[in-house]
Amino acid sequence: MTNTADRAALPEPGRRGEAGRQAPAQALFRRLVVLNGLVFTIGTLVLALSPATVSSRVRLAEIPVLTVGLALILTVNALLLRASLAPLDALTALMRRVDLLRGGDRLADSGNGDLADLIATFNAMLDRLEAERSASSAHALAAQEGERQRIARELHDEIGQSLTVVLLGLKRAVDRAPDELRDELHAVQETLRSSLDDVGRVARRLRPDVLEDLGLLSAMNALATEFSQISGVPVVRRAKPDLPPLSAEKELVIYRIAQESLTNVARHARAGRVELSLRPEPGTVVLRVADNGLGEVSPEGAGIRGMRERALLIGARLSITAVPGTGTEVRLTVPADGPTPSTAERKRG
């Protein structure tokens, strides 16, 4: 049940907002009334001051005059109403196509003062939703990276070390085993060694230590090499060493989006070649992953939406272009950071 304080806080019909402005519906209603009154008033004055007259019983010759006058009044009224309500069509179209993962789509004020407050309010709502989505994505991605690092540590420190101990014990057993068992034990040893390599590879994918230790370019080269070894698809690398400074967060986003793009190529593209490029452009760094595969356009899954969320998190632009029978291109444009003390120190060093 609403108490007195709650009722006092609720907006009343016709009450002005905090800035003293009327509600959009009331303002539009007043303007329509004024427009219609103005059109009909002008039409009445024109008929009253013009030489045209109408008898008490309308003659046939006067019917065309009345018809033309009525048509002019309705035409002018329709044009004025159409100009006043035109922004509603653009606003409806924006509501249908808006996507928080593709930010920046706003409705420009066309100079029509009737719906300016409504347009500004809707744009402000989109700004607020995008900011909230970006903040929630940042928390979710940070939690995801933390969980990846925890799992990678457990794989390396616990499972990896346990498998290493078993492998060493198995080697001693092979050395003491009779000849008829050595071949079988060697097969088990190779399987165990392969499993240990798989664990290390999974741990590296979860936590790219090479990105922290050797930098973005080395991490991208390692990623391309690992992809080629697993999938058998050659990767053409086009990277320039003179990249502008990037924060650790942006480097991680570039690495993860390249990783996800290559994963999608291996799973869906059936490509015979992949091009991986990372080059500087004025004020930005551009990542491009292009394949010559099927180029099928399919609904975006969790992987691509995760890529868009990461790009949105650092203010980057992500575009995915698929041409059937030609291939798919993933393009990420990341704004560069300004020079930082650590960057200058690295250059001096």
Q: Name the nearest CA neighbour of 203 among 138, 122, 149, 135.
A: 149
Residue 13 has pLDDT above 50, yes or no: no
Q: Tell me which of 16-20, 68-72, 256-260, 300-304 is least confident.
A: 16-20
Residue 289's pLDDT is what? 95
Q: Tell me which of 47-61, 109-123, 185-199 is least confident.
A: 47-61
- Across the chain, the runs of DSSP E, i.e. the strands, are 235-239, 274-281, 284-291, 317-323, 327-335
The letter for the amino acid at 33 is V
Q: Count Cβ atoms below 10 Å from residue 175 Cβ, excluding itself.
A: 9
**Torsion angle of C-alpha atoms 7, 12, 15, 18, degrees rounded to 10:** 40
User: What is the Cα–Cα distance from 87 to 85, expressed in whole angstroms?
Assistant: 6
Pairing state of beta strands 274-281 and 235-239? parallel
Q: What is the mean pLDDT of residues 296-303?
A: 72
Q: Calculate what percentage of the chain has a pLDDT beyond 90.
A: 15
85 or 257, which is more confident: 257
Q: Which residues of 38-67 are buried (b: 16+ CB within 10 A; e: fewer)?
A: ebeeebeeeeeeeeeeeeeeeeeeeeebee
List 327's β-bridge partners, or say none: 323
User: What is the Cα–Cα distance from 240 to 280, expressed in whole angstroms?
Assistant: 7
**Identity of the highest mean pLDDT range in 8-17, 47-56, 274-283, 293-302:** 274-283
Three-class DSSP category at 144: helix
Q: How many CA atoms lie within 13 A of 86 on its CB side?
A: 12
Residue 18 has pLDDT above 60, yes or no: no
User: What is the Cα–Cα distance from 325 to 295, expressed in whole angstroms?
Assistant: 6
Tokens read off for 284: 């930005």
Reported as a single tens digit per residue, the pLDDT across 119-169 is 788 888 888 887 777 777 677 777 777 787 788 778 777 888 888 888 888
Q: Tell me which of 96-105, 113-122, 172-181, 241-250 is least confident.
A: 96-105
Confirm if 265 and 293 have CB atoms less than 8 A apart: yes
The pair phi, psi for residue 321, each rounded to 5°, is -115, 120
Q: Name the region of 256 (left: φ>0; alpha: ψ -120 to 50; beta: rest).
A: alpha
Name the CATH code of domain 214-349 (choices 3.40.50.970, 1.10.10.60, 3.30.465.10, 3.30.565.10): 3.30.565.10
Number of H helices, E strands in the chain: 11, 5
Residue 97 has pLDDT above 80, yes or no: no
User: What is the Cα–Cα distance from 328 to 292, expressed in whole angstroms?
Assistant: 7
CA–centroid distance for 76 within its chain: 44
- Domain boundaries defined on the chain: 16-136, 214-349
**Torsion angle of C-alpha atoms 68, 69, 70, 76, degrees rounded to 10:** 100
Residue 58's pLDDT is what? 57
The letter for the amino acid at 296 is E
Tokens read off for 50: 């013009």
User: For the whole model, what pTM was predicted?
Assistant: 0.58
